[in-house]
């Protein structure tokens, strides 16, 4: 039983009830239960795992002891998607008794390779990886799996053949769908014609590849659209201002911008705003992060689309926890592939997605 924090006894009792019944839940049921706990007890008022736990009315001694230790390799904390995902992992890890050790890939496949090699030389109860480059970390991952360390693949593919690699599961959004949805939203917003910039993420990242494919698929349907630049800014918002400052000078008649993540889209909006062209140039992003959803409400972005970092990271935590505790009641165990949903965010529904994101539900 958890110790009850007198200032919020009811909240602590709710947490105690959920944690005491975790092993009786299936894969999706258990994660849904934890997410519901976050929603009903006030985690939505906060932004970090520590603040979320405080909003539950809990002290560190109210939480289960850390029985397990897990490494989470993130693509890069320059991206808000990775930061939010890691906070989700920490939040659920605290409720489940899992210490989360984060690795920052710094949006550099070589740095992440070093991180994964470092992880392979240590002992973990499980590992979760959001890879920047497909087929680049196979050897150290094989080393970990050979040591019976469960590995979960998050968001993008570690290898062409994940079954042969032996990961526990792969949680992935439909990147082609997200790309198609945002390309259509942008092209329709500018009337189906005009100059457009396609600013890409890291090209070895399978999510970026899918988003580029989705853009290309829809582009075929709009002969009036002219793509004038497809440079990469590597998912890094810091790379966008110099890139877009130059592009706005070269293409004064530009009408739209399509970005592989929200952070880059919002960085570009600042450049467009500084140039006095917010009425002329429309922008879309991908990921559905809360600041981007707010930007949709404010009219700064035409739309974004949900790539549920909370569900992917929370799902990774839950899948691995059920495996290492041998407590999954789902027939057949954790599925080898979990498709995570991702709906478009437009002005009429953005507020609801902000609430879901604040409560670790997406």
In terms of Cα–Cα distance, which of 243, 217, 219 is closest to 229?
243
| 32-36-37-42 Cα dihedral, nearest 10 degrees | 150
> How does DSSP classify residue 47?
S
Provide block-wise average pLDDT over 10 residues at a time, the chain (362 residues). Answer: 44 54 47 52 57 70 90 97 95 94 98 98 98 98 98 98 97 98 98 98 98 98 98 98 98 98 98 98 97 97 96 95 90 91 91 86 80
Give the CATH number of domain 175-305; options: 3.40.50.2300, 1.10.150.120, 1.10.3720.10, 3.20.19.10: 3.40.50.2300
DSSP-derived 3-state class of residue 255: coil
User: Rg for the chain (alpha carbons), in Å?
Assistant: 21
3-state SS track over 205-248: CHHHHHHHHHHHHHHCCCCCEEEEECCECCCCHHHHHHHHHHHH
In terms of Cα–Cα distance, which of 220, 223, 309, 219 is closest to 258?
219
pLDDT at 357: 85
Element (H, E) at 358: helix 350-358
pLDDT at 176: 98
Q: Report helix angle 309-324 to 80-96, nearest 10.
A: 30
What are the residue boundaries of the structural domains of the chain, listed by start?
A: 6-174+308-339+353-358, 175-305
**Inter-CA distances, 90 with 83, 97, 313, 330, Å:** 11, 10, 9, 24
pLDDT at 341: 82
pLDDT at 210: 98
CATH superfamily of 6-174+308-339+353-358: Response regulator (3.40.50.2300)
Element (H, E) at 72: strand 68-74
pLDDT at 45: 46
Q: Is the pTM of this model over 0.85?
A: yes
Element (H, E) at 126: strand 126-129
Identical topology for domains 6-174+308-339+353-358 and 175-305: yes
């Amino acid at each position: 039983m958890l110790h009850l924090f007198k200032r919020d006894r009811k909240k602590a009792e709710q947490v105690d009830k959920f944690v005491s019944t975790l092993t009786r839940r299936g894969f999706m049921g258990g994660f849904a239960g934890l997410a519901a706990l976050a929603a009903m007890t006030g985690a939505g008022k906060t932004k970090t795992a520590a603040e979320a736990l405080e909003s539950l009315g809990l002290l560190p001694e109210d939480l289960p002891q850390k029985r397990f230790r897990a490494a989470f390799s993130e693509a890069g904390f320059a991206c808000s998607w990775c930061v939010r995902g890691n906070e989700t992992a920490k939040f659920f890890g605290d409720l489940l008794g899992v210490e989360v050790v984060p690795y920052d890939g710094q949006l550099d496949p070589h740095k992440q390779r070093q991180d994964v090699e470092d992880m392979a030389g240590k002992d973990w109860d499980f590992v979760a990886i959001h890879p920047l480059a497909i087929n680049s970390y196979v050897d150290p991952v094989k080393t970990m799996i050979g040591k019976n360390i469960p590995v979960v693949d998050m968001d993008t593919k570690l290898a062409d053949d994940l079954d042969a690699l032996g990961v526990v599961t792969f949680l992935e959004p439909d990147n082609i769908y997200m790309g198609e949805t945002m390309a259509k939203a942008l092209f329709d917003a500018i009337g189906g014609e005009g100059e457009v910039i396609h600013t890409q993420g890291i090209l070895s990242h399978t999510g970026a590849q899918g988003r580029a494919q989705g853009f290309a698929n829809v582009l075929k349907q709009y002969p009036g659209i002219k793509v004038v630049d497809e440079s990469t800014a590597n998912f890094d918002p810091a790379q966008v201002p110099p890139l877009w400052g130059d592009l706005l000078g070269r293409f004064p008649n530009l009408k739209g911008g399509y970005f592989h993540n929200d952070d880059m889209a919002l960085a570009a909006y600042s450049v467009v705003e500084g140039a006095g062209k917010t009425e002329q140039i429309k922008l879309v992003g991908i990921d559905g992060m809360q600041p981007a959803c707010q930007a949709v409400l404010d009219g700064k972005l035409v739309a974004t689309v949900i790539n549920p970092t909370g569900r992917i990271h929370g799902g990774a935590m839950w899948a691995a926890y059920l495996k290492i505790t041998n407590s999954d009641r789902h027939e057949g165990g954790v599925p080898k592939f979990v498709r995570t949903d991702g709906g478009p965010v437009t002005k009429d529904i953005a507020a609801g997605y902000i609430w879901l994101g604040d409560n670790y539900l997406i």
